A and B are shown apart, each in its own frame.
Chain A
């Protein structure tokens, strides 16, 4: 079974530029999550989708971050404009469905450096 796919793996941009990350979850997984992991910290949830609907985006900085999952499979996370403090690893995870007992599996992540 293929895991969660993400691209690109690395991205370097200047502040105020825009960037987009792509995620393809494990086949059959209805729930998709985007996390931000800053060096030395645990991952922090940015947004959760169930199929193509948003379940929780309470921690997404909506003035600069946006995300979509139009057909309930792939998802894109965008940052515009980027700030220095956005330098982090952006992780996508998926699980079978919404529910506290469902385990989440992570993709390899995208390491973003903002200069």
Chain B
């Protein structure tokens, strides 16, 4: 069974802190990983993609991929109340043609 696992949270951090969101996946063949942000009542918004082992930084966001451990993470530096949302981890599985398998999402709350 192809699965993407996330801690559902809620994860609560104070404003200005680093939020760390984690995700594991079951398919060793998977090559591409994505983080989506979903505000309540809205659709998912792509914020990061990562394809190679290591870190990828984009502004306050850093995605980390470790294929040996089948682990993906998202760090949000200097967290703001506007970052409060559900963060969805998704993986494209080997053998599929770009189909995303999503985790259930982690709800992040940033307290002022």
Contacts and interface: CB of A to CB of B under 8 A. Distances in A.
Interface string B33-72: 0101000001111100101000000000000000000000
Interface in B1-48: 4, 31-32, 34, 36, 42-46
Interface in A67-115: 89, 91, 95, 98-109
A33 B92 CA distance: 14
Contacts of A20: none
11 contacts: A40-B104, A42-B103, A43-B100, A45-B99, A98-B98, A99-B98, A100-B94, A101-B32, A101-B51, A103-B46, A108-B42
Interface residues of B, number: 25
A24 interface: no
Contacts of B34: 103-104
B108 interface: no
Nearest to B93: A100
Contacts of A33: 99
A112 to B, nearest CB: 14
B88 A42 contact: yes
A43 B51 contact: no
A14 interface: no
Interface string B85-96: 000101010101
Given A48-B98, A99-B98, A100-B32, A107 B104 contact: no
Interface of A: 31, 33, 40-45, 48, 50, 55-56, 89, 91, 95, 98-109
Contact of A99 (B49, B90, B97): B97
Given A100-B31, A100-B92, A103-B34, A48 B99 contact: yes
Contact of A106 (B32, B43, B92, B105): B43
Contacts of A98: 97-98
A106 B44 contact: yes
A100 B33 CA distance: 9
Contacts of A95: 98
A49 B104 CA distance: 24
